[in-house]
Amino acid sequence: MLADTIVALGVNHKTAPVAIREKLAFSGDCKIPLQKLEKIPGCEEFCFLSTCNRVEVFFVAKQREESIKNVLDFLFTKSGLTSKESKEYSYIHQGTEAITHLFRVASSLDSMIVGEPQILGQLKDAYRDAAEFKSTGVIINRLMNKAFSVAKRIRSETNIGSSAVSISFAAVQLAKKIFGNLNGKRVMLVGAGEMAELAAEHLVTQGISRVVVANRTIERAMKLARRFKGTAVALDELVPQLEHVDIMISSTGSPDMILSRGQVKPIMRKRRNSPLFLIDIAVPRDLDPKLNGLDNVYLYDIDDLTHVVEINKAERDKEAMVAERIVKEETLKFQQWLENMEISPTIVAIRKKAEEVREKELAKTLSSLNGLSTKDKKSIEMLATSLVNKLLHNPIVFLKAECAPEDKEQKLDLTRKLFGLDSGQSAEDRMSSE
Protein backbone atom coordinates (compact mmCIF):
# COMPACT_ATOMS: atom_id res chain seq x y z
CA MET A 1 0.00 0.00 0.00
CA LEU A 2 1.18 3.55 -0.77
CA ALA A 3 0.62 4.70 2.83
CA ASP A 4 3.18 2.15 4.02
CA THR A 5 5.91 3.79 1.92
CA ILE A 6 5.76 7.02 3.98
CA VAL A 7 8.30 7.28 6.82
CA ALA A 8 9.05 9.92 9.46
CA LEU A 9 12.40 9.41 11.16
CA GLY A 10 14.10 11.75 13.60
CA VAL A 11 15.07 13.01 17.03
CA ASN A 12 13.23 15.56 19.15
CA HIS A 13 13.01 17.05 22.66
CA LYS A 14 10.98 14.05 23.83
CA THR A 15 13.43 11.36 22.76
CA ALA A 16 16.81 13.03 23.32
CA PRO A 17 18.29 15.63 25.70
CA VAL A 18 19.80 18.83 24.31
CA ALA A 19 23.32 17.38 24.65
CA ILE A 20 22.38 14.74 22.07
CA ARG A 21 20.37 17.08 19.83
CA GLU A 22 23.38 19.39 19.64
CA LYS A 23 25.40 16.59 18.08
CA LEU A 24 22.85 16.36 15.29
CA ALA A 25 22.62 20.09 14.65
CA PHE A 26 22.71 20.96 10.96
CA SER A 27 23.73 24.52 10.16
CA GLY A 28 24.78 26.42 7.07
CA ASP A 29 23.60 25.62 3.57
CA CYS A 30 20.25 23.81 3.70
CA LYS A 31 21.11 22.02 0.45
CA ILE A 32 23.91 19.96 2.05
CA PRO A 33 21.62 17.53 3.99
CA LEU A 34 19.32 17.32 0.94
CA GLN A 35 22.29 16.43 -1.26
CA LYS A 36 23.26 13.65 1.14
CA LEU A 37 19.72 12.30 1.32
CA GLU A 38 19.56 12.29 -2.48
CA LYS A 39 22.39 9.73 -2.54
CA ILE A 40 20.50 7.26 -0.35
CA PRO A 41 19.19 4.38 -2.53
CA GLY A 42 15.42 3.95 -2.40
CA CYS A 43 14.73 7.44 -0.97
CA GLU A 44 12.30 8.45 -3.73
CA GLU A 45 10.95 11.65 -2.17
CA PHE A 46 12.12 13.48 0.95
CA CYS A 47 11.94 16.63 3.06
CA PHE A 48 14.42 17.58 5.81
CA LEU A 49 13.46 19.59 8.94
CA SER A 50 16.00 20.90 11.46
CA THR A 51 15.15 23.15 14.46
CA CYS A 52 16.55 23.56 17.97
CA ASN A 53 14.10 20.96 19.28
CA ARG A 54 13.97 18.44 16.42
CA VAL A 55 15.77 17.00 13.42
CA GLU A 56 13.51 14.94 11.15
CA VAL A 57 13.37 13.41 7.70
CA PHE A 58 10.02 12.73 6.02
CA PHE A 59 10.52 10.41 3.06
CA VAL A 60 8.91 7.91 0.71
CA ALA A 61 10.63 4.57 0.15
CA LYS A 62 9.41 1.24 -1.22
CA GLN A 63 12.35 -0.69 0.28
CA ARG A 64 11.80 0.79 3.71
CA GLU A 65 14.15 -1.24 5.92
CA GLU A 66 17.28 -0.43 3.92
CA SER A 67 16.31 3.22 3.47
CA ILE A 68 15.52 3.63 7.18
CA LYS A 69 18.94 2.25 8.11
CA ASN A 70 20.67 4.64 5.68
CA VAL A 71 18.69 7.70 6.80
CA LEU A 72 19.46 6.86 10.43
CA ASP A 73 23.18 6.63 9.54
CA PHE A 74 22.92 10.02 7.80
CA LEU A 75 21.45 11.69 10.90
CA PHE A 76 23.98 10.25 13.35
CA THR A 77 27.07 9.98 11.16
CA LYS A 78 28.96 12.78 12.98
CA SER A 79 27.42 12.32 16.43
CA GLY A 80 29.94 9.81 17.78
CA LEU A 81 27.06 7.68 19.06
CA THR A 82 26.88 3.92 18.63
CA SER A 83 24.22 2.27 16.48
CA LYS A 84 22.40 1.17 19.63
CA GLU A 85 22.41 4.72 21.03
CA SER A 86 21.19 6.12 17.70
CA LYS A 87 18.15 3.85 17.84
CA GLU A 88 17.58 4.67 21.50
CA TYR A 89 17.40 8.44 20.91
CA SER A 90 15.44 8.37 17.65
CA TYR A 91 11.93 7.46 16.56
CA ILE A 92 10.57 5.88 13.40
CA HIS A 93 6.96 6.30 12.29
CA GLN A 94 5.71 4.43 9.24
CA GLY A 95 2.51 4.56 7.22
CA THR A 96 -0.49 5.99 9.09
CA GLU A 97 1.69 6.81 12.13
CA ALA A 98 4.03 8.89 9.94
CA ILE A 99 1.11 10.84 8.45
CA THR A 100 -0.38 11.51 11.90
CA HIS A 101 3.03 12.51 13.28
CA LEU A 102 3.59 15.12 10.55
CA PHE A 103 0.10 16.60 11.06
CA ARG A 104 0.79 16.83 14.83
CA VAL A 105 4.17 18.49 14.20
CA ALA A 106 2.67 21.08 11.83
CA SER A 107 -0.13 21.82 14.32
CA SER A 108 2.39 22.20 17.21
CA LEU A 109 0.78 19.33 19.13
CA ASP A 110 4.22 17.71 19.25
CA SER A 111 6.03 20.91 20.32
CA MET A 112 7.67 21.61 23.68
CA ILE A 113 5.07 24.37 24.13
CA VAL A 114 1.82 23.10 22.61
CA GLY A 115 0.25 25.75 20.42
CA GLU A 116 3.42 27.71 19.61
CA PRO A 117 3.28 29.06 16.06
CA GLN A 118 6.97 28.93 15.05
CA ILE A 119 7.08 25.26 14.00
CA LEU A 120 4.62 25.73 11.14
CA GLY A 121 6.81 28.43 9.59
CA GLN A 122 9.90 26.25 10.03
CA LEU A 123 8.15 23.31 8.35
CA LYS A 124 7.05 25.52 5.45
CA ASP A 125 10.64 26.70 5.00
CA ALA A 126 11.87 23.09 5.02
CA TYR A 127 9.30 22.10 2.40
CA ARG A 128 10.17 25.11 0.22
CA ASP A 129 13.87 24.12 0.33
CA ALA A 130 13.02 20.52 -0.60
CA ALA A 131 10.71 21.61 -3.42
CA GLU A 132 13.38 23.93 -4.85
CA PHE A 133 15.87 21.08 -4.62
CA LYS A 134 13.29 18.93 -6.49
CA SER A 135 13.40 16.19 -3.87
CA THR A 136 9.61 16.09 -3.45
CA GLY A 137 7.07 14.31 -5.61
CA VAL A 138 3.34 13.66 -5.78
CA ILE A 139 3.09 12.08 -2.31
CA ILE A 140 5.31 14.44 -0.28
CA ASN A 141 3.86 17.47 -2.07
CA ARG A 142 0.32 16.42 -1.22
CA LEU A 143 1.31 15.34 2.32
CA MET A 144 3.03 18.63 3.19
CA ASN A 145 0.27 20.80 1.79
CA LYS A 146 -2.26 18.72 3.68
CA ALA A 147 -0.22 19.22 6.88
CA PHE A 148 -0.36 22.99 6.37
CA SER A 149 -4.13 22.92 5.86
CA VAL A 150 -4.57 20.73 8.97
CA ALA A 151 -2.59 23.27 11.03
CA LYS A 152 -4.70 26.10 9.62
CA ARG A 153 -7.92 24.25 10.41
CA ILE A 154 -6.81 23.61 14.00
CA ARG A 155 -5.90 27.30 14.43
CA SER A 156 -9.31 28.39 13.14
CA GLU A 157 -11.43 25.77 14.94
CA THR A 158 -9.67 25.74 18.33
CA ASN A 159 -8.08 28.23 20.72
CA ILE A 160 -4.94 26.15 21.12
CA GLY A 161 -2.63 29.08 20.38
CA SER A 162 -4.42 31.77 22.37
CA SER A 163 -3.43 30.91 25.94
CA ALA A 164 -0.03 31.67 27.48
CA VAL A 165 1.66 28.49 28.73
CA SER A 166 5.11 29.88 29.52
CA ILE A 167 6.06 32.48 32.13
CA SER A 168 7.56 34.78 29.50
CA PHE A 169 4.57 34.58 27.17
CA ALA A 170 2.14 35.05 30.09
CA ALA A 171 3.91 38.33 30.86
CA VAL A 172 3.35 39.51 27.29
CA GLN A 173 -0.32 38.52 27.35
CA LEU A 174 -0.82 40.54 30.55
CA ALA A 175 0.94 43.52 28.96
CA LYS A 176 -1.48 43.37 26.03
CA LYS A 177 -4.44 43.37 28.41
CA ILE A 178 -3.13 46.54 30.06
CA PHE A 179 -2.05 48.46 26.97
CA GLY A 180 -4.21 46.85 24.32
CA ASN A 181 -1.74 47.37 21.49
CA LEU A 182 2.01 47.12 22.20
CA ASN A 183 3.09 48.92 19.02
CA GLY A 184 5.50 51.74 19.92
CA LYS A 185 5.75 50.79 23.61
CA ARG A 186 9.13 50.79 25.37
CA VAL A 187 10.52 48.06 27.63
CA MET A 188 13.38 47.92 30.11
CA LEU A 189 15.08 44.67 31.11
CA VAL A 190 16.67 44.74 34.56
CA GLY A 191 19.13 41.91 35.02
CA ALA A 192 19.92 39.29 32.42
CA GLY A 193 17.78 36.30 33.37
CA GLU A 194 16.70 33.83 30.71
CA MET A 195 12.96 34.36 31.31
CA ALA A 196 13.39 38.14 30.98
CA GLU A 197 15.16 37.60 27.65
CA LEU A 198 12.37 35.34 26.42
CA ALA A 199 9.74 37.86 27.49
CA ALA A 200 11.65 40.57 25.62
CA GLU A 201 11.73 38.37 22.50
CA HIS A 202 7.95 37.96 22.64
CA LEU A 203 7.50 41.71 23.23
CA VAL A 204 9.66 42.62 20.25
CA THR A 205 7.50 40.45 17.98
CA GLN A 206 4.48 42.39 19.25
CA GLY A 207 5.85 45.71 18.03
CA ILE A 208 7.86 47.08 20.97
CA SER A 209 9.80 50.08 19.64
CA ARG A 210 12.65 50.39 22.16
CA VAL A 211 14.54 48.08 24.52
CA VAL A 212 16.71 49.33 27.38
CA VAL A 213 18.90 46.90 29.35
CA ALA A 214 20.04 47.73 32.89
CA ASN A 215 22.53 45.42 34.57
CA ARG A 216 25.22 45.51 37.27
CA THR A 217 27.73 44.39 34.64
CA ILE A 218 27.62 46.93 31.85
CA GLU A 219 29.35 44.56 29.39
CA ARG A 220 26.56 42.03 29.82
CA ALA A 221 23.97 44.81 29.42
CA MET A 222 25.62 45.95 26.16
CA LYS A 223 25.70 42.41 24.77
CA LEU A 224 22.01 41.86 25.49
CA ALA A 225 21.07 45.32 24.20
CA ARG A 226 22.78 44.61 20.87
CA ARG A 227 20.64 41.52 20.47
CA PHE A 228 17.50 43.66 20.58
CA LYS A 229 19.06 46.69 18.88
CA GLY A 230 18.55 48.62 22.11
CA THR A 231 20.61 50.61 24.59
CA ALA A 232 22.49 49.62 27.74
CA VAL A 233 22.51 51.54 31.04
CA ALA A 234 24.01 50.98 34.48
CA LEU A 235 21.78 49.60 37.23
CA ASP A 236 22.13 52.92 39.06
CA GLU A 237 20.15 54.55 36.22
CA LEU A 238 17.12 52.29 36.81
CA VAL A 239 14.86 54.85 38.54
CA PRO A 240 15.30 57.79 36.10
CA GLN A 241 14.82 55.39 33.16
CA LEU A 242 11.34 54.53 34.49
CA GLU A 243 10.17 57.92 33.34
CA HIS A 244 10.68 56.88 29.71
CA VAL A 245 9.51 53.24 29.55
CA ASP A 246 6.11 51.57 29.65
CA ILE A 247 7.12 48.06 30.74
CA MET A 248 9.86 46.85 33.06
CA ILE A 249 10.89 43.21 33.45
CA SER A 250 13.14 42.52 36.43
CA SER A 251 15.10 39.31 37.02
CA THR A 252 18.24 40.14 39.00
CA GLY A 253 19.94 37.88 41.51
CA SER A 254 19.85 40.57 44.19
CA PRO A 255 19.09 39.35 47.74
CA ASP A 256 17.29 42.64 48.43
CA MET A 257 14.54 44.57 46.66
CA ILE A 258 15.92 46.99 44.08
CA LEU A 259 12.85 49.22 43.67
CA SER A 260 10.54 50.63 46.34
CA ARG A 261 7.18 52.39 46.34
CA GLY A 262 8.83 55.59 47.49
CA GLN A 263 11.17 55.63 44.48
CA VAL A 264 8.40 55.16 41.94
CA LYS A 265 5.77 57.54 43.34
CA PRO A 266 7.55 60.77 42.21
CA ILE A 267 8.31 59.16 38.83
CA MET A 268 4.58 58.62 38.24
CA ARG A 269 3.97 62.35 38.65
CA LYS A 270 6.60 63.03 35.97
CA ARG A 271 4.94 60.41 33.77
CA ARG A 272 1.59 62.17 34.28
CA ASN A 273 0.28 58.85 35.57
CA SER A 274 0.61 57.02 32.23
CA PRO A 275 0.41 53.24 32.91
CA LEU A 276 3.55 51.47 34.10
CA PHE A 277 3.62 47.66 33.87
CA LEU A 278 6.13 45.96 36.19
CA ILE A 279 6.98 42.26 35.88
CA ASP A 280 9.00 40.76 38.72
CA ILE A 281 10.22 37.28 37.83
CA ALA A 282 13.10 37.26 40.31
CA VAL A 283 13.30 34.94 43.31
CA PRO A 284 13.68 36.51 45.84
CA ARG A 285 11.55 39.38 44.56
CA ASP A 286 13.17 42.53 43.14
CA LEU A 287 10.19 44.85 43.41
CA ASP A 288 8.29 46.15 46.43
CA PRO A 289 4.77 44.58 46.59
CA LYS A 290 3.48 47.96 47.83
CA LEU A 291 4.03 49.32 44.32
CA ASN A 292 0.63 47.87 43.44
CA GLY A 293 -0.93 50.54 45.65
CA LEU A 294 0.10 53.32 43.26
CA ASP A 295 -2.39 54.50 40.65
CA ASN A 296 -1.70 53.15 37.15
CA VAL A 297 1.14 50.92 38.38
CA TYR A 298 0.53 47.25 37.59
CA LEU A 299 2.89 44.84 39.34
CA TYR A 300 2.93 41.09 38.71
CA ASP A 301 5.35 38.64 40.31
CA ILE A 302 6.33 35.05 39.45
CA ASP A 303 3.38 33.59 41.39
CA ASP A 304 0.89 35.74 39.49
CA LEU A 305 2.35 34.64 36.17
CA THR A 306 2.50 30.98 37.23
CA HIS A 307 -1.17 31.12 38.15
CA VAL A 308 -2.01 32.48 34.69
CA VAL A 309 0.05 29.70 33.10
CA GLU A 310 -1.64 26.92 35.11
CA ILE A 311 -5.12 28.16 34.22
CA ASN A 312 -4.16 28.40 30.57
CA LYS A 313 -2.54 24.95 30.51
CA ALA A 314 -5.81 23.37 31.60
CA GLU A 315 -7.64 25.33 28.89
CA ARG A 316 -5.08 24.42 26.26
CA ASP A 317 -5.28 20.73 27.15
CA LYS A 318 -9.02 20.86 26.35
CA GLU A 319 -8.29 22.53 23.03
CA ALA A 320 -5.56 19.96 22.30
CA MET A 321 -8.13 17.15 22.60
CA VAL A 322 -10.21 18.80 19.87
CA ALA A 323 -7.08 19.30 17.77
CA GLU A 324 -6.15 15.60 18.09
CA ARG A 325 -9.60 14.66 16.79
CA ILE A 326 -9.08 16.92 13.76
CA VAL A 327 -5.69 15.26 13.11
CA LYS A 328 -7.36 11.81 13.11
CA GLU A 329 -10.04 12.99 10.70
CA GLU A 330 -7.52 14.50 8.31
CA THR A 331 -5.28 11.43 8.51
CA LEU A 332 -8.19 9.25 7.36
CA LYS A 333 -8.89 11.67 4.49
CA PHE A 334 -5.28 11.52 3.36
CA GLN A 335 -5.28 7.72 3.53
CA GLN A 336 -8.37 7.72 1.30
CA TRP A 337 -6.53 9.90 -1.21
CA LEU A 338 -3.59 7.46 -1.19
CA GLU A 339 -5.95 4.51 -1.71
CA ASN A 340 -7.51 6.28 -4.68
CA MET A 341 -4.00 6.84 -6.02
CA GLU A 342 -3.47 3.07 -5.90
CA ILE A 343 -6.82 2.33 -7.56
CA SER A 344 -6.41 4.85 -10.38
CA PRO A 345 -3.85 2.87 -12.46
CA THR A 346 -6.13 -0.19 -12.35
CA ILE A 347 -9.19 1.82 -13.41
CA VAL A 348 -7.18 3.42 -16.24
CA ALA A 349 -5.97 -0.04 -17.33
CA ILE A 350 -9.52 -1.45 -17.31
CA ARG A 351 -10.84 1.45 -19.39
CA LYS A 352 -7.93 1.16 -21.81
CA LYS A 353 -8.51 -2.56 -22.30
CA ALA A 354 -12.26 -2.05 -22.74
CA GLU A 355 -11.56 0.68 -25.29
CA GLU A 356 -9.25 -1.64 -27.23
CA VAL A 357 -11.96 -4.29 -27.37
CA ARG A 358 -14.64 -1.73 -28.33
CA GLU A 359 -12.55 -0.29 -31.18
CA LYS A 360 -11.60 -3.77 -32.48
CA GLU A 361 -15.13 -5.14 -32.45
CA LEU A 362 -16.59 -1.91 -33.82
CA ALA A 363 -14.18 -1.96 -36.75
CA LYS A 364 -15.07 -5.61 -37.54
CA THR A 365 -18.81 -4.93 -37.32
CA LEU A 366 -18.78 -1.78 -39.45
CA SER A 367 -16.62 -3.39 -42.12
CA SER A 368 -19.16 -6.21 -42.52
CA LEU A 369 -22.13 -3.87 -42.88
CA ASN A 370 -22.41 -2.18 -46.27
CA GLY A 371 -24.49 0.83 -47.14
CA LEU A 372 -24.63 2.35 -43.66
CA SER A 373 -25.10 6.08 -43.50
CA THR A 374 -22.81 8.28 -41.42
CA LYS A 375 -25.68 8.72 -38.97
CA ASP A 376 -26.12 4.95 -38.62
CA LYS A 377 -22.40 4.45 -38.02
CA LYS A 378 -22.48 7.17 -35.36
CA SER A 379 -25.42 5.48 -33.64
CA ILE A 380 -23.60 2.13 -33.56
CA GLU A 381 -20.48 3.79 -32.13
CA MET A 382 -22.56 5.50 -29.42
CA LEU A 383 -24.23 2.17 -28.59
CA ALA A 384 -20.84 0.43 -28.22
CA THR A 385 -19.53 3.24 -26.00
CA SER A 386 -22.66 3.18 -23.84
CA LEU A 387 -22.46 -0.61 -23.39
CA VAL A 388 -18.81 -0.38 -22.30
CA ASN A 389 -19.53 2.39 -19.79
CA LYS A 390 -22.50 0.55 -18.29
CA LEU A 391 -20.59 -2.73 -18.03
CA LEU A 392 -17.63 -1.02 -16.32
CA HIS A 393 -19.73 1.02 -13.89
CA ASN A 394 -20.25 -1.65 -11.20
CA PRO A 395 -16.64 -2.97 -11.21
CA ILE A 396 -15.31 0.60 -10.80
CA VAL A 397 -17.79 1.38 -7.99
CA PHE A 398 -16.71 -1.91 -6.35
CA LEU A 399 -13.06 -0.83 -6.53
CA LYS A 400 -13.71 2.62 -5.09
CA ALA A 401 -15.84 1.43 -2.17
CA GLU A 402 -14.27 2.00 1.25
CA CYS A 403 -12.87 -1.03 3.03
CA ALA A 404 -9.97 -2.17 5.22
CA PRO A 405 -6.46 -1.81 3.68
CA GLU A 406 -5.99 -5.60 3.45
CA ASP A 407 -9.38 -5.97 1.71
CA LYS A 408 -8.39 -3.19 -0.72
CA GLU A 409 -5.33 -5.18 -1.79
CA GLN A 410 -7.45 -8.31 -2.30
CA LYS A 411 -9.99 -6.35 -4.39
CA LEU A 412 -7.27 -4.88 -6.59
CA ASP A 413 -5.66 -8.29 -7.08
CA LEU A 414 -9.00 -9.95 -7.87
CA THR A 415 -10.05 -7.22 -10.32
CA ARG A 416 -6.75 -7.30 -12.20
CA LYS A 417 -7.04 -11.09 -12.54
CA LEU A 418 -10.68 -10.91 -13.72
CA PHE A 419 -9.78 -8.38 -16.42
CA GLY A 420 -6.47 -10.08 -17.25
CA LEU A 421 -4.50 -6.88 -16.71
CA ASP A 422 -1.23 -8.54 -15.69
CA SER A 423 -1.11 -11.35 -18.27
CA GLY A 424 1.26 -9.42 -20.55
CA GLN A 425 -0.94 -10.08 -23.61
CA SER A 426 -2.69 -7.30 -25.51
CA ALA A 427 -6.45 -7.30 -26.03
CA GLU A 428 -5.98 -7.76 -29.77
CA ASP A 429 -3.71 -10.79 -29.29
CA ARG A 430 -6.14 -12.37 -26.85
CA MET A 431 -9.06 -11.93 -29.20
CA SER A 432 -7.05 -13.40 -32.06
CA SER A 433 -6.31 -16.52 -30.06
CA GLU A 434 -9.90 -17.01 -28.93
- The residues annotated with a catalytic role in the active site are 52
DSSP string, 96-140: HHHHHHHHHHHTTTTSSSTT-SHHHHHHHHHHHHHHHHT---HHH
**How far apart, in Å, are the Cα atoms of 426 and each of 348, 355, 387, 416?**
15, 12, 21, 14
CA distance 92 to 114: 21
* Entry field: residues in the chain: 434
Give the residues across from 280 on adjacent strands.
250, 301
Q: Are 327 and 295 in contact (CB under 8 A)?
A: no
Contacts of 424 (CB under 8 A, 6+ apart): none
CA distance 14 to 89: 9
Can you say whether residue 63 is alpha, beta or left, with left for phi > 0 and alpha for psi between -120 and 50 degrees?
Answer: beta
CA distance 119 to 109: 10
CA distance 171 to 199: 7
Phi, psi of 405 (to 5 degrees): -55, -40
List helix spans (H) across 208-292.
218-227, 238-241, 261-270
CA distance 107 to 114: 9
